[in-house]
Amino acid sequence: MQSTTFHFLASIMSSSSRHAGMGNLSLEEASEGLKKLLIHNDKDEQLSKELETKIEKLISELLGTTQTVRRILGGFQSFKTNKFDMNPALFRELAEHQTPKPGEAFTFRNIASLVPPFNKLRYSGVGAAIEYAVVTLKVENILVIGHSRCGGIDKLMELPEDDDWVQIGLPAKAKVKAEFGHLPLDEQIRECEKEAVNLSLTNLQTYPYVRERMARKALALRGGYYDFVEGCFKLWEVKTIITTPIHS
């Protein structure tokens, strides 16, 4: 019994480490095989408790992988059936080009909705997304949205200030501490969720292509805050004066 157990377990672990299926076994078959080993273990005292723990962990990992893959595939199938197949003309048009308008979003997600100040090298990922949206797609609106119970803002208010991404949000944190430091921490966090949006709107104006299009009144910046606890959404505009660029 013990040699069979180790042989089967070694086979599963080898296949699992390659992240490429289970050899000739499906994930479901492998999980069922491991469950049978646990059943046999009730009758065979030779199987160690340590090995039993490893088997239980593998079952959990295998089932978790299966559920994750199924969710991804199921989500795509739902999109294909309910969206793609129902609007073939729209998706043929989108395949040719993108011209998103309000409500048709070109979305970029960043932790705590923080947009860093312009820096070609340090924050190239965020900068590339903004540049593509503004310069290539020529979007007319940029909306930065924060939300209630934001884990990123929660960590910003609590973590030491040496993490790189935390440093981006320090001005928002400092302002909240100065103005609302007398309030309980959970209320400070709520204020910072909104102030981080304002900080991002300020930082967006350090991007030269954003400034230029704003000066030409071809681009507007807006902030938003979604409170899913109260079930409300707040929206505000950026009021700023930017002169038209002077070319020599």
Q: What does DSSP assign to residue 146?
A: E
Other C-beta atoms lying within 10 Å of the C-beta of residue 78: 10
Q: Treating both helix axes as pointing N-terminal to C-terminal, what angle do 170-180 and 151-158 enclose, rounded to 10 degrees?
A: 70
Half-sphere exposure of 75 (CA within 13 A, CB side): 6
Gap between the Cα atoms of 241 and 215, Å rounded: 8
Q: Does residue 232 have a known ligand-binding role? A: no
Q: Does residue 150 have a known ligand-binding role? A: yes
Gap between the Cα atoms of 100 and 104, Å rounded: 5
Contacts of 169 (CB under 8 A, 6+ apart): 112, 114, 153, 156, 192, 196, 199
Residue numbers belonging to the annotated binding site: 147, 150
Q: Which residues sit in the known binding site for Zn(2+)?
A: 147, 150
